[in-house]
Structure 1
């Protein structure tokens, strides 16, 4: 099969015999670009260095034992941390026909899964089908990766007409692209169009519910998800969204019950277990919270992406139960088993502060919180949830300077920052209106500084630097009309003078749509739209229909 000769494959399997068998099968079909990984950690490191067309992964990576990471957890890590592209073909190989493992593989939507034993013809038929599908969708995937979402939508529409064999896949990508643009009514319409032809398409029903959730139509989402679960009792993603929907409705007990049901069916998904632990903690069900967080710590132990925050969650739960001895054991496990660094030190110090608080040592707790805040300033991968919890703990111990530093740090975090309004809200909810006013003033000052820097950069002809400065300000202040205006103007000027860049043009269009919602009577809107169209025509870009 010469059409397969350029494909690259990563085989993830601990068995030398199975690796050899797979290599022989692939070689018979002219696939010779083959690398190997014996386990999840090796696979993740390989994929960090090199992209592969296909991953063939054994489910039982530790031979069915209790140690190590299985194929399901590996796929979860790869998808969550974006170590594989959306068009990567991931085929799960398993000799197990048990429900929990098949469900686990299916819910993470590998391209396919193959039950052992299988023949070379079976494997290559699955690969051939997956490659054909990928080739059809690849132009859309590439446009999405480039940020050219409007062009991706155009290609989806063309694919629906020209390649009816993959009409369902094109429709799904079309809906997901509308969702990426926050065009929820348009996405919902696509899902409904699919359901008119295929009323039992579970993924489309889930898509409708997701659109309803995004539009805050929580009751509609709840009803649809409950019907979906009744139709497909093992559609795990529906349980996850239903739990979030119940939370949005203020019904945490019901949300917890939904996740308990899901974990009973499919017990391996780390993020679901973590969510269950958080809900159990929020509803004072500390026994369930402890079990869930212990499972998270145990299952994540062999992951390349394990987080020290899971230990903090477990310590917090044990402290609420009054179990200082077990909490101390968890802290020692954190220190022994995770690499030293600012994330680990932040979590260790915060966990230690919780235990010291339980012991009544306010001075010791404050000292550890100060250490945690200092380490957090150097950390790159802490969640905002943990940072906010740390800021609140600092406020409770009168560490105002550290708390404000944490909040401002989140506000200025380009990767996962919070808006200025959210930063102010953190302090208001903590009952510190004085600090909230101070942070709000700082945010206003930063917006003015960004406007001044943008004007200066444009005056010097530094268009890209101007756009970088003002779009960072937009992230911090997404509803600040002067900042929005300046950002749109800077982007349009760069497009006009330096050439058309589809992702940047898409960003300008999204910002104009946001400005129109915030200030529909703004007199600049018509001029900006005309400028956008003029630049399109200048570079021969067809306007979107």
Structure 2
């Protein structure tokens, strides 16, 4: 029992009797550092403040859950928002009937389950098995934490052979690491090998994802259709299948698939939000309104609420022809999101849409100018909202403002907007002249950054030079001079400041991109030799 005394536990259960029972059992097992929460919402708040070794979570959170989530959906939120790490043990407490429904279908599986009713000895044994499993994974997790993903893959392969009960878990982690390194063929092989032994949902889903990422949509779609048929509650399979249909230009089909998913699992906000977006794209304003209303309602007391959901609801209502209700949503946005840094931009964009629908071009112009002004101090706006703002500016002849919106998005690495996406906004609006202007400005900025990086290198600021060149590469992703300079700067940093696993992986990726674009490039051979020599210098296998 002494080895349990330092373990910290969070119990998530709405039933006070069960919480008391769990406290007694944990105390008997030598565990006294215990905190309690009664719902998914309170669990999220607590885990944002403090980490735990173990989370014991009731699957059926019942009416105490303010957003209607069950334990599985809570786990998905915690993993999605990275509120729990690899070392956290998450044990689901379920009835036998629930276990049989979720164990083969859940994409994000808990560390383990414990079936009710159970004794203190059963709970203690389950915790000990989870700790033993974590102990087997610690070497791989430590390498991942250091950013040394290739060594982590090797560690997983060795540990899988050393710990046969966890062989499938290690195979899954290996495949996910290959995906992180964009080594999709290797991941595909691993998932296929697992499926050849056992038809596991997560392996089928992983294989479908690698196929989709390799632009093999037809194969991915065929596999996903079978997955959904065999595992009707493998919710992430519906999400990816909908993406396949979206990619093929079929938003109506994507909407139907997501509606099927929501009918099975109605409380996942991210899926409801996506359904609303797809419904808008498909022209189904009523379905979009329904979805976004649910999103706004469910997220009202959530730590993850987003004022952009109100903007989307306004879009749906305007498309449906209900400006009165849209105005009410804008008032609710201002009231419920007070203090949110995105509020001013979202409120102005929503008001501009309302003015546009009423034919009030002067009012729309004023609000669009206000939105652009607010955007300057609010970098958190999504790519879709920025693109929509730029399109509205173009439609209202605010060319300068539209260019500013897209240029700021390109200068924000977190926006995820590529140069090609930014330029296509202007091309589709019939303004190739503005597209050319954006391209020229980005190239000029990249050249300026090249010069800045050179100055930083000469001053011995090797890390600063690398960061500057990575920023230049994002602005001009196809610029060979920038890529070569970035690779050289990374190699210089490795040589001067010591080995850095994530930086080395990034450098290897840049060199590989140069090789794919121009296998005969004059600098390629030297870059490759310098990379191999850097690995040898630090005793790393080349």
- TM-score, length basis structure 1: 0.93
Match of 1:438 in 2: 437
- RMSD, aligned α-carbons: 2.4
Whether contact under 8 Å (1:69, 1:302) holds in the other structure is no
- The alpha-carbon deviation at position 280 of structure 1 amounts to 1.2
> Is the alpha carbon distance of 1:466 and 1:434 closer, same or farther for their aligned partners in structure 2, counting shifts above 3 Å?
same
Match of 2:31 in 1: 31
- 2:152 maps to 1:149: no
Match of 2:344 in 1: 345
Match of 2:454 in 1: 455
- The alpha-carbon deviation at position 97 of structure 1 amounts to 5.2
Whether contact under 8 Å (1:419, 1:477) holds in the other structure is no
Once residues 391 and 292 of structure 1 are traced to their aligned partners in structure 2, the CA distance between those partners, rounded to angstroms, is 25
Between 57-66 and 430-439, report the one with greater CA deviation: 57-66
> Is the alpha carbon distance of 1:373 and 1:121 closer, same or farther for their aligned partners in structure 2, counting shifts above 3 Å?
farther
Once residues 165 and 256 of structure 1 are traced to their aligned partners in structure 2, the CA distance between those partners, rounded to angstroms, is 40
- The alpha-carbon deviation at position 10 of structure 1 amounts to 1.9
Whether contact under 8 Å (2:9, 2:55) holds in the other structure is yes
SS at match of 1:342: coil
Once residues 481 and 403 of structure 2 are traced to their aligned partners in structure 1, the CA distance between those partners, rounded to angstroms, is 26
Alignment of 1:48-447 (within 5 A): 48-59=48-59, 61=61, 63-64=63-64, 71-93=71-93, 106-198=106-198, 200-447=199-446
SS at match of 1:86: coil
- The alpha-carbon deviation at position 61 of structure 1 amounts to 4.9
SS at match of 1:415: helix
Once residues 99 and 28 of structure 2 are traced to their aligned partners in structure 1, the CA distance between those partners, rounded to angstroms, is 33
Whether contact under 8 Å (2:295, 2:309) holds in the other structure is yes
Whether contact under 8 Å (1:239, 1:259) holds in the other structure is yes
- The alpha-carbon deviation at position 41 of structure 1 amounts to 4.2
Once residues 65 and 210 of structure 1 are traced to their aligned partners in structure 2, the CA distance between those partners, rounded to angstroms, is 32
Match of 2:524 in 1: 525
> Is the alpha carbon distance of 1:113 and 1:382 closer, same or farther for their aligned partners in structure 2, counting shifts above 3 Å?
farther
> Is the alpha carbon distance of 1:100 and 1:364 closer, same or farther for their aligned partners in structure 2, counting shifts above 3 Å?
farther
- 2:502 maps to 1:503: yes
Between 284-293 and 316-325, report the one with greater CA deviation: 284-293
Once residues 366 and 93 of structure 1 are traced to their aligned partners in structure 2, the CA distance between those partners, rounded to angstroms, is 55
- TM-score, length basis structure 2: 0.94
- The alpha-carbon deviation at position 178 of structure 1 amounts to 0.8
Whether contact under 8 Å (1:184, 1:211) holds in the other structure is yes
Whether contact under 8 Å (1:54, 1:89) holds in the other structure is yes
Whether contact under 8 Å (1:222, 1:242) holds in the other structure is yes
> Is the alpha carbon distance of 1:114 and 1:287 closer, same or farther for their aligned partners in structure 2, counting shifts above 3 Å?
farther
- Which residues of structure 1 form unaligned runs of 5+? none
Once residues 101 and 325 of structure 2 are traced to their aligned partners in structure 1, the CA distance between those partners, rounded to angstroms, is 32
SS at match of 1:82: coil
Between 74-83 and 100-109, report the one with greater CA deviation: 100-109
- The alpha-carbon deviation at position 320 of structure 1 amounts to 0.5
Once residues 62 and 229 of structure 1 are traced to their aligned partners in structure 2, the CA distance between those partners, rounded to angstroms, is 27
SS at match of 2:413: coil
Once residues 90 and 98 of structure 1 are traced to their aligned partners in structure 2, the CA distance between those partners, rounded to angstroms, is 17
- The alpha-carbon deviation at position 470 of structure 1 amounts to 0.8
> Is the alpha carbon distance of 1:223 and 1:62 closer, same or farther for their aligned partners in structure 2, counting shifts above 3 Å?
closer
Between 378-387 and 170-179, report the one with greater CA deviation: 378-387
Once residues 62 and 338 of structure 2 are traced to their aligned partners in structure 1, the CA distance between those partners, rounded to angstroms, is 23
> Is the alpha carbon distance of 1:195 and 1:14 closer, same or farther for their aligned partners in structure 2, counting shifts above 3 Å?
closer
Whether contact under 8 Å (1:331, 1:348) holds in the other structure is yes
Once residues 285 and 99 of structure 1 are traced to their aligned partners in structure 2, the CA distance between those partners, rounded to angstroms, is 37
- The alpha-carbon deviation at position 39 of structure 1 amounts to 4.0
> Is the alpha carbon distance of 1:258 and 1:320 closer, same or farther for their aligned partners in structure 2, counting shifts above 3 Å?
same
Q: Deviations over 1:220-269 (max 9, x none)?
A: 11111112222222221111111111111222222222111111111121
SS at match of 2:160: helix
Whether contact under 8 Å (1:373, 1:406) holds in the other structure is yes
Whether contact under 8 Å (1:342, 1:375) holds in the other structure is no
Once residues 67 and 534 of structure 1 are traced to their aligned partners in structure 2, the CA distance between those partners, rounded to angstroms, is 55
SS at match of 1:56: strand
Once residues 316 and 202 of structure 1 are traced to their aligned partners in structure 2, the CA distance between those partners, rounded to angstroms, is 37
- The alpha-carbon deviation at position 69 of structure 1 amounts to 5.8
> Is the alpha carbon distance of 1:23 and 1:99 closer, same or farther for their aligned partners in structure 2, counting shifts above 3 Å?
closer
- The alpha-carbon deviation at position 370 of structure 1 amounts to 1.4
- The alpha-carbon deviation at position 121 of structure 1 amounts to 2.9
Once residues 224 and 56 of structure 1 are traced to their aligned partners in structure 2, the CA distance between those partners, rounded to angstroms, is 34
- The alpha-carbon deviation at position 425 of structure 1 amounts to 2.2
Whether contact under 8 Å (2:90, 2:111) holds in the other structure is yes
Whether contact under 8 Å (2:105, 2:201) holds in the other structure is no
State the aligned residue count. Answer: 542
> Is the alpha carbon distance of 1:132 and 1:431 closer, same or farther for their aligned partners in structure 2, counting shifts above 3 Å?
farther
> Is the alpha carbon distance of 1:97 and 1:207 closer, same or farther for their aligned partners in structure 2, counting shifts above 3 Å?
same
Between 382-391 and 78-87, report the one with greater CA deviation: 78-87
